[in-house]
Chains A and B, each alone.
Chain A
């Protein structure tokens, strides 16, 4: 039982990490109805830009690379880079495609993925970098000593960050003018334009916010596994989370993440040995697929009803 609880807690905390990436998808989907295939690449770009600026500041200004000054300056510069990337995406990729079918926008984001991946490596090189956020990835001693359950401090920190982001985004969507405009744009581009909502501004805002989420996700995943190209693969973990939680729901991303994280870990530990192991990669997709049959819009997604 104790082992089961440990697997479950570990899974739930991993799920929060997936949800962090899924949040970026949700934001863009809510504002433009587009599944942004480039979100994984944005996570990579953001994290690489952050460590790249850290190195640059330390090298050229002679600052301590591990100092808080460098950290926050690099964070600010990386965030500005994500805003610039968001504005450039709106201007070059999205603006010419207003009122085009969603599949066209989706295809455009596939192209964008390769551009962002190439741009990141061109700007900062292909080297793998470590990233230390100052939070050790080791079990909480008290839980370990008393119950022999290993719960990582780092995973708890990541969960705290994700919870704060969700609260912040929920407030943004529900209680601000920009949030309401975002929802209107998501519903119908043309209708939103007709009542005077500035579509381009909204898109820029949402891509900038998605860039911020990508930066936070990239830093956390980067601190865990290193800042490297594999950060783009984090998107693969977010997909089943989105299917389960719903593409338009911020809390859905968290709940979906928790379900996917816990079920994939339990499946790997308890089912894996009977089928040769390594089922973590495809099990969440199978679960999401089964869920689609029952509830296509996801747990918290908006039910789409078309008048015929």
Chain B
């Protein structure tokens, strides 16, 4: 009798264990190093809200990715490098297969874990920030600065100016002011702007703004004196509304003030009030809730009261939609990797890396996702971890952002040349032998 009980108990235990293994295998863990408090919380709440809402949509509407439920855990970084590294370490072993991919949403944290991700075999996706030359996948196999990089953005901005002037040749002899955040992020613009100036014959007037940039009186007096034809606003945080207001104060036309994607959100224009009307900014995602993907989030996630945003009026804002783009790339990377490594199975970081490296979000796929026009079509390869390098320009009409162009290309040969040159120098410095992409499958 005792033996029978023991056998039954053992069988039950084995059954329980097996079922727990099965359920563990049916989930995919994503670690989210977020910032919802501190200096950059306003942007963080939107980005992480959109990202989580998209993953929730996949779970609620589709039952996960081919049946694999997405699970996630947030870790508060407050945009602090040390905390970001701590979060990376804390999250990397969570979930049945560990953290599948790491998206720090901070250039500082990106640099801090750049070598760690390669050692731990966890792909790092840096959309619109981070290290530009990491777009060379031969040297940086674990890093994916997807959609576009700072250099591509600068080039696309100059192309936009060329369009406005009626041709790139019309930029010759023009003056372009570069009002930049005096940090590594702001100075990322220098090399590419110098190259573009030499190519097209315009003059770049670089004007630094010390962090945090809540005082720009002297910079705008210099701009008024120099009378540039355009001013590129390479700002961050409070520097943006301050610049927009100062532009209005000095009478500089807002239509000629072109912001980068960290200057072009509602958080930058709303505080500037009426002064922001007409301000133009680049973006690798657009604002607006009139996209099927956002409508689906409202229906399947907020309809079931499972939404992440406390302030629902922010759904469809620039940062929220940027978070949705993070979600799309995360999910589509998983989907692609499952095609190779088994549908319905949870993936390791290494398998996820393959998925990301073979990602192809063409027009048809974007349409199926309900994201046509929401983000540019994206194709990643072994050598090219960036993809399209395109941005759309949006203009603030006083109450909301309106797209005023289609996706504007960058000068791909010039930018790619700079990326490869910089990546090769990094590889030499670190003793890295670049991968031969013809041997990758």
Contacts and interface: CB of A to CB of B under 8 A. Distances in A.
Contacts of B210: 278-282
B215 A280 contact: yes
Contact of A125 (B267, B271, B310): B310
A227 B272 CA distance: 10
A64 interface: no
Contacts of B182: 277-278, 281
Interface string A122-160: 000111111110000111000000000010100000000
Given A150-B250, A230-B237, A280 B218 contact: yes
B252 to A, nearest CB: 11
Interface stretch (A28-36, A105-113, A264-272, A292-300): A264-272
Contacts of A265: 217-218, 221
Contacts of B438: none
Contact of B212 (A10, A233, A276): A233
Nearest to A127: B42
Nearest to B238: A230
B222 interface: yes
A34 to B, nearest CB: 25
- Candidate in A121, A131, A132 with the most chain B CB atoms within 10 angstroms: A121
B217 A11 contact: yes
Interface in B211-267: 211-212, 214-215, 217-219, 221-222, 224-225, 237-238, 241-242, 245, 248-251, 267
Contacts of B242: 224-225
A198 to B, nearest CB: 37
Interface string A213-242: 000000001001111111011100100000
A235 B105 CA distance: 27
Contacts, number: 124
A14 interface: yes
Given A125-B310, A229-B39, 16 more contacts: A3-B221, A3-B225, A7-B218, A10-B218, A118-B37, A126-B37, A127-B42, A139-B249, A150-B221, A225-B245, A225-B271, A226-B272, A230-B238, A232-B39, A234-B214, A278-B210
Give the interface residue-count category, chain A.
35 or more
Contacts of B251: 139, 150
A150 B251 CA distance: 10
Contact of A229 (B38, B218, B222, B245): B38
Interface hub of A11, A129, A225, A233 (most chain B Cβ within 10 A) = A225
A276 B178 CA distance: 13
B249 A152 contact: yes
Contact of A272 (B208, B217, B238): B208
A40 to B, nearest CB: 11
B311 interface: yes
B38 A269 contact: no
B329 interface: no
B279 to A, nearest CB: 14
- Chain B contact residues (Cβ within 8 angstroms of A): what range? 35 or more
A132 B207 contact: no
B209 interface: yes
B113 interface: no
Contacts of B224: 150
Contacts of B208: 272, 276-278
B42 A268 contact: no
B221 A130 contact: no
A45 B56 CA distance: 34
23 contacts: A10-B218, A118-B37, A121-B37, A125-B45, A127-B267, A128-B241, A128-B267, A129-B271, A130-B272, A130-B273, A137-B248, A150-B249, A221-B214, A225-B242, A227-B271, A230-B214, A230-B237, A233-B212, A237-B215, A269-B221, A272-B218, A278-B182, A281-B182
B9 interface: no
B390 interface: no
Contacts of B45: 125-127
Q: Indicate the member of B182, B212, B248 with the most A CB atoms within 10 Å.
A: B212
A138 B224 CA distance: 14
Interface string B183-217: 00000000000000000000000111111101101
Contact of B238 (A11, A228, A237, A276): A228
Contacts of A125: 45, 310-311
A118 B78 CA distance: 12
Q: Which of A229, A234, A237 has the most CB of B within 10 A?
A: A229
Interface string B295-315: 000000000000000110010
